[in-house]
Structure formats: structure tokens, C-alpha cells
Amino acid sequence: MTTDFLWEQIQKKQSFLCVGLDVDLEKVPPHLLATEDPIFEFNKAIIEATQAYCVAYKPNTAFYEAYGLDGWRSLERTMAYLNENYPEQFTIADAKRGDIGNTATRYAKAFLEGMQFDSITVAPYMGRDSVEPFLAFEDKHTILLGLTSNPGAFDFQTKTLEARPLFKEVIACSQGYKGSENLMYVVGATKAEYLAEIRELAPKSFLLVPGVGAQGGSLSEVCKYGMTDQVGLLVNSSRGIIYASSGTDFAVAAGRKAQELQQQMAAELKK
Ligand SMILES: O=C(O)c1cc(=O)[nH]c(=O)n1[C@@H]1O[C@H](COP(=O)(O)O)[C@@H](O)[C@H]1O
């Protein structure tokens, strides 16, 4: 998917919401556990209830890998369902991969070709040759970890390396990579105060912004410092949407939460 198409979807839906599909069988409503593929059934219901209010879905692969082969099958079925029924949705494999070039090529093939995700999250710390294999795929996107939402982000990412913090070095340096037009960056909503500085380095790039909802980040702060003339933001919420209710009304409750966020986003877009 091109970023122009993504921008069209954002305008059409008045939303830049990404719904995180981080399925934990301990939190899935009990009545689904009796089905043949509870993770897929849960995702299908969540997708149906939320698709009108969002432009992207982000399954975090850890939640599928944790269930072995069954989990991978559920992920494949979820992706096939999205691509068949809602091809206009931007899909993110939140896999946070990073390895030598030869291996990176196989990761890229697995997620961008095999499962046909539009994008994948990648850890930048092995450098240029570990990222460029992902950037070689046309109309696919590599979302590099810039400044993450967790407390441990301060261990390394904000430490000064030569003249600037490491996260800024990552953003600036990666823009010289071959295929850098396919780059996006992760910036945690809990670090919104850094967004203005990040925009100086990446004025137009789309940013994936997780951390609103369960982690306490503020949508209005993110918009204030991070929004571009074409929005340039995909704001993710996982637990805050998909576990809005643990009862049989889980999908309705998730739809309501997604709609609430969409309405706040529509208001931000009007500003
Ligand atoms: O790359 C990510 O998506 C990510 C980066 C980051 O800095 N912080 C972060 O929370 N995430 C992911 O975003 C999702 C956040 O989930 P909730 O906190 O439940 O909304 C999880 O899948 C995290 O792994």
C-alpha cells in the first residue's frame, strides 16, 4: 500500500487509528474457547466491530508465537481475512525483527511476501545492512524503532552519542539508507514531548505511535507535536480496545472504544 492511499483512507474515515490485535487466550471471553480457532474468531469479531473506525491493524507476533503452530495459523488466517475482506486496511506485523542482511531478507520475505503484511516493525541497532533488505520491497514499509514507549527507552535511546541522542541518530542516519522512502518510525505516545524534535528530523514520515490507552499516553499531545499536513500518524491502541469488555459483548464494547478514539481523532483533524 502507498502512503498516498493511506492518507486517502485517513481522510475518508476521519481516523488515524490502528487497532492492536494482541490476543491473549486468558482474556478472550470464555464462550470463544470452545471454538476450533478462538484467536481467529476473536480477531474476526474485533475486526468486524472496529473496521469502520480505523485505518490499520497491528497484530503483535509475540501473542501468536506464544501458541506455537496454532498461533501462527491464527495469524495467517487473520491476515488472509483482512486482505480478502478489508484490503484498504494498512497491516503492520509487529515483529520487531533485526539481524544480519542474509537473515533479514528471510524475515522480510516471511512477513511482507508470505503473509502479505504492508509493513513490519524493525529494531535498528544492527544498522544499515540489517534494515535495507526490508526497504527493497515496493510499496511495503519498514517501521524502525525510534523512541519507544516503555520506561527502559531511557536506558539507551535518549543517551547522547557524539552530538545527539541515540534515537535521533537512528532517525537521521536511516534516512540515508537505500529505499529510505519506505521508512516509518515508532515513537511512543508516552514520549509525546519529543515529537517536535523528531519532526525536525523526519518532517513527513509516518510515525506509528503506540501507548495511548493502557500505557497512558495522550492523543491530544501526540497530535499537537507530531501531526503533519498529511497527518503522518498512526496511533495504536491494543488492550484499551480489544479488552474493553470480557463478556459476550466484547466486540460491541471494542467497537464503541474504537469509535470514541475515532471521534477524538476527527476533532483533531478539524483543528
Ligand atoms: O512497536 C510497537 O508497536 C510498540 C512500540 C513501543 O514503543 N511500545 C509499544 O507498546 N509497542 C507495541 O504496541 C502495543 C501496545 O499495546 P497496548 O499498550 O495494549 O495499547 C503492543 O503490541 C506493544 O508491543
The predicted-structure confidence for 145-175, as pLDDT tens digits, reads as follows 999 999 999 999 999 988 999 999 999 999 9
- Does residue 96 have an active-site annotation? yes
Q: What is the pLDDT of residue 162?
A: 82
CA angle 221, 226, 228 (to 5 degrees): 135
Residue nearest to atom 7 of ligand 1 (CA): 148
The residue ranges of every structural domain in the chain are: 3-270
3-270 carries CATH number 3.20.20.70: yes
The predicted-structure confidence for 75-108, as pLDDT tens digits, reads as follows 999 999 999 999 999 999 999 999 999 999 999 9
Q: Quote the ligand 1 centre to 108 CA distance (angstroms).
A: 20
Q: What is the pLDDT of residue 96?
A: 98
Segment among 63-72, 117-126, 130-139, 211-220 with least mean pLDDT: 211-220
Indicate if ligand 1 lies below 6 Å from the C-beta of 18.
Answer: no
The residues with which 19 forms a beta bridge, in sequence order, are: 57, 237
Catalytic residue among 12, 27, 96, 257: 96
Quick one: which atom of ligand 1 is closest to the CA of 187? Answer: 7
Q: Where in the chain does DSSP place strands (E)? A: 17-20, 56-58, 90-97, 119-122, 141-147, 160-161, 164-165, 183-187, 207-210, 233-237
Q: Quote the ligand 1 centre to 236 CA distance (angstroms).
A: 8
Q: What is the pLDDT of residue 263?
A: 98
CA atoms of 236 and 258, how far apart (whole Å): 10
Q: What is the pLDDT of residue 213?
A: 85
CB 124 within 8 A of CB 132: no
pLDDT beyond 90 at 182:
yes
pLDDT interval class at 214 (50, 70, 90): confident
The predicted-structure confidence for 38-65, as pLDDT tens digits, reads as follows 999 999 999 999 999 999 999 999 999 9
